[in-house]
A and B are shown apart, each in its own frame.
Chain A
Amino acid sequence: MNKKNLNILQVENLEMHFVQKNKRIKAINDVSFYVHKGETFGFVGESGCGKSATCKTILRLLPENGEVVRGSILYNGINLLEQSEKQMRKIRGKEIGMIFQEPMTALNPVLKIKEQMYEQFLGSDMTEQQKHDKAIEMLRLVGIPSPETRLNEYIHQYSGGMRQRAMIAVTLAAEPKLLLADEPTTALDVTIQDQIIRLIEALKEKLGMSMILITHDLGVVSEMCDRVAVMYAGSIVEMADTQTLFAYPRHPYTEGLMQSLPKDNGERGKLNPIQGMPPDLSRLEEGCSFFPRCKYASKVCGTTVPQLREIAQEHWVGCHHAEHMEHAIGLICLEDAQHREGRT
């Protein structure tokens, strides 16, 4: 794919299966994408679509039954799948950090915030004082009041929004170049979510990070992502910059997802949800995985798996009928075609 040197992460043809007693769950099927330096790349999709599994594969944090069948994950040119466990430990945290949905489970309940923060500085030649200053600076940065005292507290002593902030502070203390954020605001109330979104945005800018954001919420995508990939049944079905995707969805699933949402303008028309349910990943049939639920499906869809194709500059779609999806209704109306040309 293009602009190789500008990509901090480049994943090609990744395939990962969960192996169970008598079945293989094809959690990731031939996934390829890239993340530009400095951008926020979003993964959006419903539960079980493989967005979280992709992130865990990148960090090689898969459970024992997760098996990478093929593909490569190039981080700044290094294939992470070929690194030893020891080398991976150096990459995790310091190069690629991760924040989670639930800070209570992501942070250790019996260690003080301070101790967890200091762990991030392992291997650096900082003095105790420098570590202390840095830790305080991080807490201040994420907007935790009176950081000197809070540094010596445990995670359960923090309130909901503050826990999320503390986890972000601990992760970012190591100053990772790439941040993986797995549903970081899903468990939060909308006002707190708003605060955390702005906080992550600001920190990303300040530290010059790139970010992969996993979410099921198109609203969060719209607020945060530069580019976004829509995942369905372990595959990327569409990938484009956020505005293009929101204005010109070209995959029937993307369209269905958008049509499932009530509109911002309070329109009361009947919602047009996608019928049926996602397929069982251990029993994927031939052809397009969305075929059974797709209202535009034709014969070819039932026999051949569509490849992800670039139908316009940096707009990738995995659908046989992508070119004929002009009628698809997005969430926003851009004034025209010239906007598209303007982007190229």
Chain B
Amino acid sequence: MKIDPLQKLMQNKSLLIGSIIVLFLVVLAIVPSLFTSYDPIALDPTAILEPPSARHIMGTDEYGRDIWSRIVYGTRLDLLIGVGAMIVPMIMGTAIGLLSGYYGGKLDSLLMRILDVFMAFPYYVLAIGIVAILGAGTKNLFIAMWLVGWKEYTRLIRSEVMVVKNMEYIQAAKSLGYSDGKILFRHILPNVVSNSIVYGASDIVMCILAGASMSFLGLGVQLPTPEWGAIISGGRAYLSTAWWITVFPGVLLIISGLGFSLIGDGLSDLLRAEDH
């Protein structure tokens, strides 16, 4: 009856391809020095704005820094932003959604009104507003994204909890004398979390993009720290003369986005099959 997880992965094409892409990015992030011999922030006045060549496969920027090297070293930060800005709101949002959906009543009303306030602002307006108050920087970027990102998870989880809590197996769990905590985490959570996980996988893409956009706007990661959005931002002025500065990090951004989206897609197939 049991199917080997590896076999499941092999059958699920999108999960497989997505995983390969993401795995590649993770390796880049962990051991960037394996892939390039250049220091990403070392200036080289002899090689300013060089087009792609054998020496610098993706060319150099206006300070003579190797673009490929900057992209490789930037991977770590971008993945960190993607995952970090996804996971904290996911946990926060899930917890709030669980409580709100399970207990209902006044608690639910209160939490939902707070949610409404956050929902009222578009994502970037809120994120930019928060950074504007706290000041630019990587730490504040995270805080802003955490405060903005939880609400989708809350909505997803809450609506699922409202359905599941009326299922007979929850009533059965109550009749068995289980405590609320046990019912919430052992019986409700596993049955409501799959949609959030799927959403989370694609949310990583959104977070990487958002992080890059914020850095592009100069509100997130500060130069000269290598970060894809910051690199693109830096190349903006040379778009017509040195396209490689902006195009290559952009391509990698797209590839990583594709990777996480494929994983999300594959996961949703997998989890849906299990629900059946």
Q: Do chains A and B touch in the complex (CB under 8 A)?
A: no
